[in-house]
Amino acid sequence: MLLMDIITWEPKDSAKVERLYKNYEYPKGMKVIDEWIDLTGYRMFVIYETEDEKTYTPSVVPFIGLCRFETIPVMRADKYMQTAQERAEKTGEKGVGTAQSKEESEDILEQIEGLEKRIERLEHHSFIQQEDTT
């Protein structure tokens, strides 16, 4: 499973975090894809692959109480789009990014035109009220 951690810490703890990180080694079974540091704040991003929580848990233990971890399951966008398209084809639903039917497009255009006319009337009404009060 591919995961992304957003790790944050308090500015006062920066030296402690730096010391810990310099000597830190990721546990076996955790494949780190990439790491980034936020240059504007006290935050780090790590994308990694792991098979289960047994690998993840020891990776955060040294930082507990010092850092906050937000762990998010992620997937490459192209892989997600392909998976979503395959799922849609199996279930008979519209796939990701497929065009709407002509009827649906026309219905949406009619709704937009109706909204534009309402806006024009409201603007006109607002203008008339402004002229009456001055």
Give tens-digit pLDDT for 25-73: 999 999 999 999 999 889 999 999 998 888 888 889 999 999 999 999 9
Enumerate residues 6+ apart whose C-beta is below 8 A from 51: 1, 29
11: pLDDT confidence band, cut at 50, 70 and 90?
Answer: very high
Contact between 89 and 96 (Cβ < 8 Å): no
For the sheet containing 67-73, what is the strand order?
A: 31-37, 43-49, 2-9, 67-73
pLDDT in tens, 79-121: 888 888 888 888 876 655 555 566 777 778 788 887 778 777 7
Euclidean distance between CA atoms 125 and 134, whole angstroms: 15
| Global pTM exceeds 0.75 | no
Q: How far is CA 42 from CA 6, 8, 64, in A?
A: 10, 6, 16
